[in-house]
Amino acid sequence: MPLVNPFTLRVGDTFKAALLSNGAPINGSYAAAPETKSIHNATQAQIGDTAEDGTFSINITESGMWQVKAEYVIDESGTWIATHDRVRGNTTYYLTGDEVPYDLVRYRTTLTFYVP
């Protein structure tokens, strides 16, 4: 949940947000980067864990398109019935209809905005 209007941000501003689950703050992680950098690269992105109240801040260091993601993980096991095939090269991970066990559930949200 953005705590500031992302459409009014300029270089030098701080984007602030809170990670919520069913309206309540939750601990999780975040990552953010402008379009010129990779959100998946720790040397290029701003990556961290939320505060106890689920909040986090991103320093807007350059203009352009920004991507911000936040996520949390719940230890929950179960079985998923595959809705598609996952085959990479010579490795078959699962096929449509297979029962695929899992040990955690990951919830992720992404926000993209432009900084002039």
* DSSP at 34: E
What pLDDT, in 10s, does the model give residues 20-55? Answer: 999 999 999 999 999 999 999 999 999 999 999 999
- How many H-runs (helices) and E-runs (strands) does the chain carry? 0, 10
Which residues are paired to 111 by β-bridges? 68
What pLDDT, in 10s, does the model give residues 2-14? Answer: 999 999 999 999 9
DSSP assignment of 2-16 equals BSS-GGG--TT-EEE
What H or E segment, with its residue span, contains residue 94?
Answer: strand 91-94
- For the chain, the residue count is 116
In CATH, which superfamily holds the domain spanning 6-76+104-115?
Immunoglobulins (2.60.40.10)
On average, the pLDDT of the chain sits at: 97
Q: Where are the domains of the chain?
A: 6-76+104-115
